[in-house]
A and B are shown apart, each in its own frame.
Chain A
Amino acid sequence: MTAVARDDYDAMTDAEFRTMVRDFIEAECPAEIRHLPRRIRWHEVKPWSQKLSKRGWLAPQWPKKYGGMGMSVSKQIAYLEELDRAGVPRAPDMGIVMLGPLLINYGSEEQRQTYLPRILACEDVWCQGYSEPNAGSDLASLRLEAVLDGDHWVVNGQKTWTTLAQDANWIFLLVRTDKQAKKQEGISFLLVDLSTPGVTRRPIMTLGGHEEFCETFFDNVRVPKDNIVGKVNEGWTMAKALLGFERIFLGSPKLSQVALNRLALLGRSTGAFEDDRFRDKFTQLRLDVADLTEAYSRFADILRRGEALGPDVSILKIFATSTYQKITEALVEMSAENGSIDEPVTYGNDSLDALAHYWLSRPATIYGGSSEVQRNIVAKQVLDLPG
């Protein structure tokens, strides 16, 4: 096959495309970084990202013109499902998933030419600076301030829960540029080199025992004026408009399925399947995952038809994350005392760190819009309840 034909993804059937992706993963993605019950760090995953980069597969959702795969939504979903299936870790990918599409949609051509190639070359790793100590679910109340001073924005304040900021060299920020405007209307989108004087990162240890995110402080940080994306004070609208089809992935059955497989391992190894109570619980969870998978594919079909997701997609995240937590809670319960030790326990030829799964599942109902916020959205926008 010629290189051109090889990369004409939309000319392939979904099955052909999936086989191609699967073969590549099997050949190139090392087993030791797959199916990790934690977020992977950049130094561990960089060689794999570079392989994807070389193959032209690092940015499935970007247009070909900017070095992406330029695929239909259907193929993008297939691609991500194949990575999921093989347990391929999610690299620090905010540059690819969030910033890339934002620059492509709203950035200047100069910004695109500056930043996109460096993301694709694995030179720049971006992190997302949205949440603040007092702006979580109510993100629009954020206060990190940027004031124009000649050719520079002067940034002061703090971000937090900045995922893997310690592995990144750039950050994209939502900053307040107008304190008088209504809270959503005074926010801009700003790109900051993390090596700029005045930026400090402090990694935060999670309950799972990993430094997954940071507090990031800005003390009179001077950022070139042109690092604003789009128009000043329109950052909120842009960031929100980009919350498109990726919202479905927060409701993917993948995490639940992986945890369920571990629960099956535990059931087999401990003889728990002989116990009626465990069998019933296991079956319930198994059927939850099966119906979640069906519901997920119904939303995926909406995207495949080229239609937009409605606010009802929130139910996927609500159900997926609560299912996931129920399974990891069962893992801990069935592990008895082993479920109170933060290390893997050997079962036959396999091993299981029940608490690692438990810890990993806790923030699922918090990040990406907490379950409570999702319920507020469904109550008002789907069920048309007042207030």
Chain B
Amino acid sequence: MSSGEAEDLMRMLRDSAADYVNRSDMARDVRAWRNKPEGYDSARWNEMVQLGWVGLRAPERCGGMGLGIEECAALLAETGRGIGPEPLSAVGVLAMRALAGGEGTHNDDLMSGLVEGGRVIAVAWQEVAGALHASDCETRAISAANGWRLTGVKDYVHGAAQANILIVSARAPEGVGLFAVQPGDKGVKLETRYFTDGATCHRVHLQDVEAPNFFCVAPPGKGEAVLDAALDETRIAASAEMFGLSQRALDMTLDYLRQRKQFGKAIGSFQALQHRAVELYVTTQMMRAAIDRAARAFEGAAARDKALIASACKARCSDGALLIAKEAIQMHGAIGYTDEHDIGLFVRRAIKLAAWLGNGAQHRKRYAALSPALEQV
């Protein structure tokens, strides 16, 4: 693709996403579907499938668009503005990239299923709060007749509301592997809780669950690197979503500052509020810089560099989104503290995404731990 074509494609993607966000009342969707086990409207999900968004990061041989992280980040920044409840990052990025990186014989079929919409796949990898790496895995994979038997408990699973496949990480003597199981399989039990934005948060109990060889996504020993790369890419995706929702929350706040009158004038004319609003704008621009830098450098980087790139980006965007969220409440005054005003939906989404796959403090710590002796700055 020439750089001109790439720019055109990027613009088309942005425009179609912006158009989608503008013509649908996504905030109403969030309210309609929050704290419900179905999680979101499957018809809407199918629209996103048809638009190619779910298959954006799928290889072309599987019917995907085969586009890069920069395009993916651009799309998610737009959809992030709309805060729809559909799990684009959890399914279209995390599951897709785990499949794309693995070597399983069935992976291409699974990716095609995601791209076409017949399958919804979520990744159940995390076990304890605060875990950041694929190696944080206690779930066991024991060798069995035609494959493996999995036992353990997974938690904080995003995007599994309508999943018909779960990719589960489990540790065998050779190392961590990734296995595909179905929620209805014998020995699988799902517990449903909800994140603050109303999206499902699943805990998955696995007791001697049979995972056949042909359904293995990445064999033991290979799964760790595959999953870590997918997690790091998803951190950039989540950052892009946070950038989008932060921009929108700031826009709503600025509108409010222009319209709301007290003491006979718009409160946006008060310098104290103006300067705070500017800090928020600066914050969004630094989030944008962090995402641009990460999206450009990620693909093709070595594993440790991917971790550094993703952590730098997620740290900036998690902290930024949380700052904008809490300031948006404050500047809206009492109405900002009510559930009926939409700004709260943005705040809740920011809180969820900031914590997902590691918050700012965790990522700075990870960055520091992985940095080359902190000697070369």
Are A291 and B265 interface neighbours, CB within 8 A?
no
Say how far A121's CB is from chain B's closest CB, in angstroms.
Answer: 40
- Does residue A206 face the partner (Cβ distance < 8 Å to B)? no
- Does residue B282 face the partner (Cβ distance < 8 Å to A)? yes
- Does residue B269 face the partner (Cβ distance < 8 Å to A)? yes
Are A385 and B254 interface neighbours, CB within 8 A?
yes
Are B286 and A295 interface neighbours, CB within 8 A?
yes
**Contacting residues of chain A (339-376) with chain B, CB-CB under 8 angstroms:** 372, 375-376
State which of A257, A273, A298 has its C-beta within 8 Å of the C-beta of B289. Answer: A298
- Does residue B281 face the partner (Cβ distance < 8 Å to A)? yes
**Contacting residues of chain A (276-326) with chain B, CB-CB under 8 angstroms:** 276, 279-280, 282-284, 286-288, 290-292, 294-295, 298, 312, 315, 318-319
**Contacting residues of chain A (223-273) with chain B, CB-CB under 8 angstroms:** 257, 260-261, 264, 267-268, 273
Chain B residue with minimal CB distance to A268?
Answer: B375
Say how far B93's CB is from chain A's closest CB, in angstroms.
Answer: 22
Interface centre among B278, B285, B288 (most CB of A within 10 A): B278
> What chain B residues lie within 8 Å of A387 (beta carbons)?
265-266, 268-270, 274
- Does residue B364 face the partner (Cβ distance < 8 Å to A)? yes
> What chain A residues lie within 8 Å of B375 (beta carbons)?
264, 268
Chain A residue with minimal CB distance to B284?
Answer: A315
Interface centre among B282, B316, B361 (most CB of A within 10 A): B282
- Encoded as 1 (CB less than 8 Å from any A CB) or 0, chain B from 358 to 370 comes to 0001001101100
A386 to B286 CA separation, bound complex (whole angstroms): 25
**Contacting residues of chain B (285-312) with chain A, CB-CB under 8 angstroms:** 285-286, 288-290, 292-293, 312
Number of interface residues of A (CB under 8 A): 38
Chain B residue with minimal CB distance to A288?
Answer: B286
Chain A residue with minimal CB distance to B315?
Answer: A287
A280 to B290 CA separation, bound complex (whole angstroms): 18
- Does residue A384 face the partner (Cβ distance < 8 Å to B)? yes
Are A379 and B374 interface neighbours, CB within 8 A?
no
- Does residue A97 face the partner (Cβ distance < 8 Å to B)? no
Chain B residue with minimal CB distance to A280?
Answer: B364
> What chain A residues lie within 8 Å of B367 (beta carbons)?
283, 287
> What chain A residues lie within 8 Å of B282 (beta carbons)?
315, 318-319, 378
Are B277 and A264 interface neighbours, CB within 8 A?
no
Are A379 and B292 interface neighbours, CB within 8 A?
no
- Does residue B275 face the partner (Cβ distance < 8 Å to A)? yes
A383 to B257 CA separation, bound complex (whole angstroms): 10
- Does residue B186 face the partner (Cβ distance < 8 Å to A)? no
A157 to B77 CA separation, bound complex (whole angstroms): 55
Chain B residue with minimal CB distance to A272?
Answer: B374
Are A379 and B285 interface neighbours, CB within 8 A?
no
> What chain B residues lie within 8 Å of A375 (beta carbons)?
274-275, 278-279
- Does residue A382 face the partner (Cβ distance < 8 Å to B)? yes
> What chain B residues lie within 8 Å of A279 (beta carbons)?
365, 368, 374
- Residues A385 and B269 in contact in the complex (CB < 8 Å), given A291-B289, A291-B316: yes
- Residues A287 and B254 in contact in the complex (CB < 8 Å), given A294-B292, A387-B269: no
Chain B residue with minimal CB distance to A295?
Answer: B289
A319 to B375 CA separation, bound complex (whole angstroms): 24
Are A383 and B281 interface neighbours, CB within 8 A?
yes
Are A386 and B374 interface neighbours, CB within 8 A?
no
- Encoded as 1 (CB less than 8 Å from any A CB) or 0, chain B from 257 to 280 comes to 110000001101111001101110
- Does residue B377 face the partner (Cβ distance < 8 Å to A)? yes
A319 to B377 CA separation, bound complex (whole angstroms): 19
State which of A261, A290, A312, A384 has its C-beta within 8 Å of the C-beta of B312. Answer: A290
A276 to B374 CA separation, bound complex (whole angstroms): 13
A246 to B266 CA separation, bound complex (whole angstroms): 35
State which of A260, A319, A386 has its C-beta within 8 Å of the C-beta of B266. Answer: A386
Are B315 and A379 interface neighbours, CB within 8 A?
no
Say how far B96's CB is from chain A's closest CB, in angstroms.
Answer: 27
Are B278 and A379 interface neighbours, CB within 8 A?
yes
> What chain A residues lie within 8 Å of B365 (beta carbons)?
276, 279-280, 283
Interface centre among B312, B365, B368 (most CB of A within 10 A): B368
A319 to B278 CA separation, bound complex (whole angstroms): 11
A13 to B275 CA separation, bound complex (whole angstroms): 42
A116 to B115 CA separation, bound complex (whole angstroms): 66
Say how far B117's CB is from chain A's closest CB, in angstroms.
Answer: 36
**Contacting residues of chain B (237-259) with chain A, CB-CB under 8 angstroms:** 254, 257-258
Say how far A290's CB is from chain B's closest CB, in angstroms.
Answer: 6
Are B293 and A379 interface neighbours, CB within 8 A?
no
Query: Which positions in B face A, CB cutoff 8 Å?
Result: 254, 257-258, 265-266, 268-271, 274-275, 277-279, 281-282, 285-286, 288-290, 292-293, 312, 315-316, 361, 364-365, 367-368, 371, 374-375, 377
Please name 30 pairs of A and B residues whose Cβ atoms are closer than 8 Å in the assembled complex, sorted by A: A264-B377, A276-B365, A279-B365, A279-B368, A287-B290, A287-B312, A287-B315, A287-B364, A288-B286, A290-B312, A291-B286, A291-B293, A292-B289, A294-B290, A294-B292, A294-B293, A295-B286, A298-B292, A315-B281, A375-B275, A375-B279, A378-B281, A378-B282, A379-B274, A383-B281, A384-B258, A385-B269, A385-B274, A386-B266, A386-B268
Contacts A279-B368, A291-B312 known; 8 new A-B pairs at CB < 8 A:
A282-B374, A290-B290, A291-B286, A315-B281, A319-B282, A319-B285, A387-B266, A387-B274
7 closest pairs, A vs B, by CB? A387-B269, A379-B274, A294-B289, A295-B289, A385-B268, A375-B278, A294-B293
